[in-house]
Amino acid sequence: NAGVMQNPRHLVRRRGQEARLRCSPMKGHSHVYWYRQLPEEGLKFMVYLQKENIIDESGMPKERFSAEFPKEGPSILRIQQVVRGDSAAYFCASSPPGGRQPQHFGDGTRLSIL
């Protein structure tokens, strides 16, 4: 009964490189959410996806960030040309379909930019 799986747990990139973060939702969950946690802060919503569709990306920065949830495979959060300010913990959560379902979180990917 695997939970939400995120990888890698830790990712180090140099400024200007690309970062790819992966998230496999819990079995039976078709909704995926990405959140970012900056140091000493709470979590901020970034994007909400269902299979092959972006439903709400109101929390995504306008540039360099993108997300997908293909028909097969994990959800990917992609950050191009990373900058120091992208250093944070990125959490993925999933939920089953239907309204007001609680979200289950992965252990996060801690991204460090050198």
Partner 1 sequence: GDSVTQMEGPVTLSEEAFLTINCTYTATGYPSLFWYVQYPGEGLQLLLKATKADDKGSNKGFEATYRKETTSFHLEKGSVQVSDSAVYFCALSDPKNGGATNKLIFGTGTLLAVQP
Residues near partner 1 (CB under 8 A) are 4, 6, 31, 33, 35, 41-45, 48, 55-56, 59, 91, 93, 95, 99-108
Alpha helices (H) along the chain: none
Minimum distance from residue 46 beta carbon to partner 1 (Å): 9
Q: Which one, 36 or 113, has the nearer CB to partner 1?
A: 36
DSSP strand pairing (65-68 vs 53-56): unpaired
Backbone phi, then psi, for 4, in 5-degree steps?
-70, 125
Q: Which one, 12 or 83, has the nearer CB to partner 1?
A: 12
Minimum distance from residue 37 beta carbon to partner 1 (Å): 9
Minimum distance from residue 106 beta carbon to partner 1 (Å): 5
63 Cβ contact list (under 8 Å, min separation 6): none
Rounded Cα distance between 93 and 39, Å, is 19
Q: Which one, 38 or 83, has the nearer CB to partner 1?
A: 38
Rounded Cα distance between 61 and 36, Å, is 11
